[in-house]
Structure 1
Amino acid sequence: MTYAVKNPDKIVPHLRRLVRDTWFRLRTRDHVAYYRAVMKSDTARDPGGAVGSHTPRRWLALGRMQFDYLVEHGLKPECRLLEIGCGNLRAGHLFIDYLHTGNYYGIDISPDILMAAQDTIVQHGLGDKLPYLTPVRDLRFAFLPDAHFDVIHAHSVFSHSPLEVIDECFAHVGRVMKAGAWFDFTFDRTEGQEHQVLREDFYYRTETLIALAGKHGLRATFMEDWERLPHKQSKIRITKPSLV
């Protein structure tokens, strides 16, 4: 109520979203199916807005920020990159152009946003780079080969995921990571009580996600240098300790 008083312009959009999301939850069996319905609705209205960029300029800027960060941290053209929740290729179009042909693999739970991703490939003339775009129903990666990817990237995915979805990802992602690979993901960070808004936006404490990764034998590091960039989310990097 305090937030509503301070932000009266957001009351009507919030109520509209509440009604829509309640309808979707009543008609779907789990969170992935529910959020797939959310993405279908959002993509029909605005593919850029569906991935959190309501203007072309913001879409380009956020994509460039993600791309530059990974390149600064060691992404090379010869790397194989898996992007979880690739959306309409906000950052993906830059990764595809930079990487060697066939080295980009994008997955998303939303077939509708992947249709928009195909439009992005056409608009940017990237067909010759042969990117892989695949719809998925979970984050088990069962169809992907062992030890295949050098870099895994998930931007604004876990910010929309309950803990059981993140746990599923952590339980299986290590299998598809090569020796020396890293997995970067962003999340909505809170230093107070963990909470969610309309089952769309989830806020976690850093130590919760670090401990969850550790449960699956993964090493997680909070990326402090990401905090200086103009983005509201935080970032954690996961690596798989080498077997001695």
Structure 2
Amino acid sequence: MPHNAASRLSANRSSLRHKLRYALGHPGRVLPYLRRAGRDGLLRVRHRGNHVGYYRAVMASDTARSPEAAVGGSPSHARWLEIGRMQFDYLVGHGLTPRDRMLEIGCGNLRAGWRFIEHLEPGHYYGVDISPDILVEAKKTVVRYGLQGRMPYLTPVQDLTFDFLPDAWFTVVHAHSVFSHSPLGVVDECLAHVGRILAPGGKFDFTFDRTEGAEHQVLHEDFYYRTETLIRLAERHGLAARFQDDWERLPHGQSKIRVTHRRPREADAGG
């Protein structure tokens, strides 16, 4: 592993030392960071103990300024398109077909979703998000790309229990840059329930901010986890999880894990 990559993966971005070093290297970003910290602090007070409510308010604020920047901090429309294309190409390269039934968790304004909607058979795409504001922008994306006839479902949610969705229905579940903004309790909730809605032979791909040092968070917006923490969590809920090495070669900044149902032999070994 290159030294700069190893340094990035071991960095604790919540430490005062890291913040001071970053500020010295990027002085132009200090004031925006302080503004964001002030806003986030106020929102945390308003939504004390409720991360979903807090992050919904963050998304409302970010979406009001720039819907595309609110999704993954895309600095430009070109980058918004590039990251969406990267997600789409990866899943198609891993066998996504028009017949698949897909759930996208944290679909945002359909950065990747519009491509999935276009690719899948009508009615085979279901997007959920905790932010009603970004889902309004998602509907605008559907109109902009003329995808009304593909009949996508776009639904706001309060949690990740998926209690309104059918058993064993989705062949592909996808969550890009969702767990990177989620405390472990939210991740655990998702993994506790996703197996019920995942069809036999289906897969759940999610990205996360990876660290090989101490797990930490920044401004309660960005969460950094060790790979083994998330794999163990999936296994605790009777799922098999595998780190996706081929995703690491792409220019995106996050890592990916694929979750599936355990095969009978794996389930017997685990039981």
TM-score (norm 2): 0.89
Q: Percent identity?
A: 66
Q: 1:243: how far off?
A: 4.4
- Which structure ranks higher in relative contact order (CA pairs < 8 Å, sequence separation ≥ 6)? 2
The equivalent residue for 1:143 is 164
**1:38 lines up with 2:54 in the alignment:** no
2: distance between equivalents of 1:242 and 1:204? 26
Which residue of the partner structure matches residue 146 of structure 2? Answer: 125
* Contact 1:77–1:100 (8 Å) recurs in 2: yes
**d(CA) in 1 for partners of 2:234 and 2:194?**
10
Task: Show the 5 A alignment for 1:1-244.
Answer: 1-29=20-48, 30-52=50-72, 53-243=74-264
Task: Find the residue that maps to 2:155 and give its secondary structure.
Answer: strand
**Where in structure 1 are there 5+ consecutive unaligned residues?**
none
Where 1:9 maps in the other structure, the secondary structure is helix
One-letter identity of the residue aligned with 1:196: Q
RMSD: 0.8
SS in 1 for 2:123: coil
Query: Structure 1 residue 8: deviation in Å?
Result: 1.4
- The answer to whether the 8 Å contact 1:179/1:242 transfers is no
Q: Distance in 2 between matches of 1:102 and 1:233?
A: 30
What amino acid is aligned across from residue 4 of structure 1 in structure 2?
A
Instruction: Give me the whole-angstrom Cα distance separating, in 1, the residues matched to 2:215 and 2:141.
Output: 36
Number of aligned residues: 244
Give me the whole-angstrom Cα distance separating, in 2, the residues matched to 1:243 and 1:139: 26
Distance (Å, rounded) in 1 between the aligned partners of 2:47 and 2:215: 24
Q: Which has the larger radius of gyration?
A: 2
- Report the alpha carbon displacement of residue 33 of structure 1 after superposing the two structures with TM: 0.3
Q: Distance in 2 between matches of 1:187 and 1:242?
A: 25
Aligned to 2:4: none
C-alpha distance in structure 1 between counterparts of 2:254 and 2:54, whole Å: 23
State the distance in 2 between where 1:243 and 1:206 align.
24
1:49, distance to aligned residue in structure 2 (A)? 0.2
Runs of 4+ aligned residues of structure 1 deviating over 6 Å after TM superposition are none
C-alpha distance after superposition, 1:159-184 (max 9, x if no partner): 00000000000000000000000000
The CA deviation at 1:4 is: 1.6
Letter in 2 for 1:37: A
Residue 107 of structure 2 aligns to a residue in which SS? coil
TM-score for both structures, normalised by structure 1: 0.98
Structure 1 distance, partners of 2:170, 2:151, is 16
**1:241 Cα deviation after fit:** 1.3
Amino acid at match of 1:65: M
Query: What is the distance in 2 between the residues matched to 1:7 and 1:55?
Result: 20
